[in-house]
Amino acid sequence: DQQVKQNSPSLSVQEGRISILNCDYTNSMFDYFLWYKKYPAEGPTFLISISSIKDKNEDGRFTVFLNKSAKHLSLHIVPSQPGDSAVYFCAARKDFGNEKLTFGTGTRLTIIP
């Protein structure tokens, strides 16, 4: 049962344009969402997160949007840079104090110079 889904295995975007990565979840008990970025041969690194009480969180070029009614979140990267090429994982957690993360399958983002 895949509770967190990233339906696009890969995405290619021109440098300087906007990258939009999508994530859907099925478990309404999830209340905290995170995006991790992973380069080859490295572990995932935390990128940005959002609590279910918000619908948007911004950090520099990265913005995460949450639509609770649709059980959907998205990560926007503007402008996209070659160093953004990586695999992006969406993750979700049920409640504070229970840190168990459920990860999606990842989206490989390629930024084309």
Binding site residues, other proteins, CB under 8 A:
4, 32, 34, 36, 41-46, 49, 89, 91, 93, 96-97, 99-106
Tell the smallest beta-carbon distance from residue 2 to other proteins (Å). Answer: 9
Q: Which is nearer to other proteins, 55 or 95 (CB)?
A: 95
Q: Which is nearer to other proteins, 36 or 84 (CB)?
A: 36
Contacts of 101 (CB under 8 A, 6+ apart): 34, 91, 92, 93
Interior angle at CA 69, CA 11 and CA 71, nearest 5: 35
Q: Which is nearer to other proteins, 49 or 74 (CB)?
A: 49
Contact status, residue 93 vs residue 9, Cβ threshold 8 Å: no
